[in-house]
Amino acid sequence: MVFQAVNDIHYFVAYARTAQSVHQIDQAFVFRHVLCLFTPLLQTSRNPPRASNMNFCSHCGAPVRVEVPSGDNRPRHVCPGCGTIHYHNPKMVVGCIPEWEDKILLCRRAIEPKYGLWTLPAGFMENGETTAEGAARETLEETGARVEILNLYSMISLPDINQVYLVFRAKLLHLDFVPGEESLEAALFSEADIPWDDLAFRTIHRTLMHYYADRKTGQYPMHMGEIFHKPRPPQS
């Protein structure tokens, strides 16, 4: 019942935004007020989190609805005009630990989020590339450094923000690196100098904790884990 009401509100809002005639504009006015009344319901619904907001079908331009398609088990954006079901799936963030002797290369972010904090070179994977190619590309873009990717070192799921981090170990191939557009600076750090309190992301902090623990043994097995940003509901 609640889910159907939420569906209807989403549909009404999308409709209101595309209203053209005077008659429709009157309806749009009403629908906007309905939205205000039901906003708390939208925010506290127990429906699964929506992967992203979507108002219109990218195939035909019609307003989409949020509903559970036949044979599925979770809400999707569905176009009543052309029947397309729009699936939204997690994004991959790929990066690496560029190694040079006993040091690693970090960069300081020149963009939000986490402006001014340090991180490993990493970013969103692009279409048409492998995870390793993406990690090397991000490293070149953010630090000006070319690397040879060695092995996958950590894989961390972030289900509350729909991301998966993949971090590789990599060999830094030269020292004339320069910060890219998205970095304030790039620098080599020994373990004693790692700015632990100024790391941008929990994924990077955890990966580097594993890395320096493993370095004591000289073995670098892959580490798989997850980080939650919200309390998990009890599992039935």
Question: What residues line the site for Zn ion (CB under 5 A)?
Answer: 57, 59-60, 62, 79, 81-82, 84
Give CA angle at 196 (151, 212), nearest 5°.
40
Q: Which CB atom, from 85 or from 173, has the smaller least distance to Zn ion?
A: 85
Closer to Zn ion by Cβ: residue 79 or 156: 79
Smaller CB separation from Zn ion, 58 or 130: 58
CB of 82 to Zn ion, least distance (A): 3
Least spacing, CB of residue 75 vs Zn ion, in Å: 17
CA distance linking residue 122 with residue 96, whole number of Å: 7
Rounded distance between C-alpha atoms, residue 144 and residue 141, angstroms: 6
- Residue among 81 and 159 whose Cβ is closer to Zn ion: 81
Task: Kindly tell me which of 81 and 179 has the beta carbon lying closer to Zn ion.
Answer: 81
Q: Judged by CB, which is closer to Zn ion: 13, or 96?
A: 13
List C-alpha distances in Å: 175 to 56, 78, 98, 151.
48, 51, 11, 21
Query: Does a cis peptide bond (omega within 30 degrees of 0) precede residue 48?
Result: no
Beta-carbon count within 10 A of 182 CB = 15
CA 63 to CA 199: how far, in whole Å? Answer: 41
Which CB, 64 or 97, lies closer to Zn ion? 64
